[in-house]
């Protein structure tokens, strides 16, 4: 284990009932951590918890709808009561809003829904969990972003990011900006906060069109969640290193 983190490190992964979120939970659980499986669908959440437990992970279910204030507040209370605290938060829950989704045709309601989950949901969950994270010896926050939210890559000649849904792309750029602001505000704490890109991963989020497995996509989150105390903060990373903002 890394310095400052015991074998009883406690992590919450949002959207952990399937795909990349599940593999993040599995990867962190394999380290001997206790994992809160955050998900709003009860059946999928229970199934994921049972599967993780069968594999040897100390997992527990956390009913969590990141778009609902009461749900998030109840999740924080559950974690405090059930696990006694929180060391690592992985904000993984996200939606695309569906396709096609061009700027000239996208329904404003779709944009609102995507931002509500992908950005405001991160704010809601992070702020609710922050008191516990402040009490941790080695707290970490990982915001699962995407390179499609990189303004630098989107505007670099010769780089084709593909027909990315406009609302989803904007939400990830928004999330990256939010990550930076959290780092600035919490700069006097020990919390390491970073954005991570899983790469083009095959999940139901993109109709399983990606070229990477969910396990491969989870690797960057696991890396950022287990950074040493002198590790980076305020960065945007993928498996190859730093992603330009």
244, exposed or middle or buried, with CB in 10 Å at 0-12, 13-18, 19+?
Answer: exposed
Decide if 182 is catalytic.
no
Helical spans, DSSP H, in the chain: 19-29, 42-54, 69-82, 108-115, 121-134, 151-154, 166-185, 214-225
Pairing outcome for strands 10-14 and 34-39: parallel
φ/ψ (deg, to 5) at 216: -65, -40
Cα four-point dihedral sign 69, 61, 22, 28 = positive
Tokens, residue 205: 């989020």
Which of these is catalytic: 16, 39, 149, 168?
Answer: 168
Active site residues: 168
């Amino acid at each position: 284990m890394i310095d400052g983190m015991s074998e009883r490190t406690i992590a919450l992964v949002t959207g952990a009932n399937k795909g990349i979120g599940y593999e993040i939970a599995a990867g962190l659980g394999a380290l001997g951590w206790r994992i809160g499986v955050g998900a709003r669908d009860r059946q999928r959440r229970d199934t994921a918890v049972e599967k993780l437990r069968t594999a040897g992970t100390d997992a527990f279910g956390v009913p969590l709808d990141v778009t609902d204030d009461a749900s998030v507040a109840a999740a924080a209370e559950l974690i405090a009561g059930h696990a006694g605290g929180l060391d690592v938060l992985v904000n993984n829950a996200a939606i695309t809003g569906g396709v096609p989704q061009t700027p000239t045709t996208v329904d404003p309601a779709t944009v609102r829904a995507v931002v509500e989950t992908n950005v405001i949901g991160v704010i809601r969950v992070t702020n609710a969990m922050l008191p516990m994270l402040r009490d941790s010896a080695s707290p970490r926050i990982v915001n699962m972003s995407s390179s499609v939210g990189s303004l630098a890559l989107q505007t670099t000649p010769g780089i084709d990011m593909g027909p990315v849904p406009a609302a989803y792309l904007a939400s990830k750029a928004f999330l990256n900006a939010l990550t930076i602001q959290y780092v600035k505000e919490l700069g006097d704490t020990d919390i390491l906060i970073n954005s991570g890109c899983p790469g083009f991963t095959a999940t139901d989020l993109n109709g399983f069109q990606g070229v990477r497995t969910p396990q491969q996509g989870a690797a960057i989150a696991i890396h950022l969640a287990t950074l040493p105390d002198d590790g980076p903060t305020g960065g945007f990373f993928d498996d190859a290193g730093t992603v330009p903002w």
